A and B are shown apart, each in its own frame.
Chain A
């Protein structure tokens, strides 16, 4: 079946621009996770949703980062006033149950390049 999808796959933004990254989880999945992966690094946790509730946002690096999942399905990660250090691949994952049900696979990612 279809896995997690993300759009756009690639995004180039000028420094200072706002961007919005979309994640479509697997239908019916309760949990949704966002991770940031810088070049040469492992994924780093950003935030976790259980349905529409954002239960953990401890990984968001600054108040320029904002995530939402208003209807408990699609999620959007927004980055305001992008900086060069925001350049990374942003990964989304979902799982059927709560956070203890670890994701079996991640989405393809959105590669953000800030120039």
Chain B
């Protein structure tokens, strides 16, 4: 079965603290994984994808096949990082994304 699990509904941190948003997946073969973000009153948008190994807005995510995880990390949270974050997995057919339920990140000063 193809599935994405985000175990935390809400993560609250103070500004400057490290952030780790957890994502675990279930997939047969080589997964294609993404993080999407939705800021308040804005559209859902792509944050990063594992194949590009990029760092966007200070966020990184490493695919760990042994632990079937793709956690999103940032060393120092900023208030503007407050948003809803969704982890997503491309399906076997390649036509769709399977999303987790999302984690709300709240960064306060």
Interface residues of A (CB under 8 A from B): 3, 33, 40-45, 48, 55-56, 58-59, 91, 99-100, 102-108
Contacts and interface: CB of A to CB of B under 8 A. Distances in A.
A42 B100 contact: yes
Contact of A45 (B43, B44, B91, B100): B91
B43 to A, nearest CB: 5
Nearest to A48: B95
Interface residues of B, number: 21
Interface of B: 4, 34, 43-46, 49, 86, 88, 90-91, 93-102
Given A40-B101, A102-B49, A33 B44 contact: no
B46 A56 contact: no
User: For chain A, what secondary structure do more than half of its interface residues adopt (helix, strand, loop), or is it mixed?
Assistant: loop
A91 B101 CA distance: 15
B18 to A, nearest CB: 24
A44 B44 contact: no
28 contacts: A3-B43, A33-B96, A40-B101, A42-B100, A43-B86, A43-B97, A43-B99, A45-B91, A45-B95, A45-B97, A48-B96, A55-B95, A56-B93, A56-B96, A91-B44, A99-B95, A102-B34, A102-B46, A102-B90, A103-B46, A104-B45, A105-B43, A105-B44, A106-B43, A106-B44, A106-B45, A107-B43, A108-B43
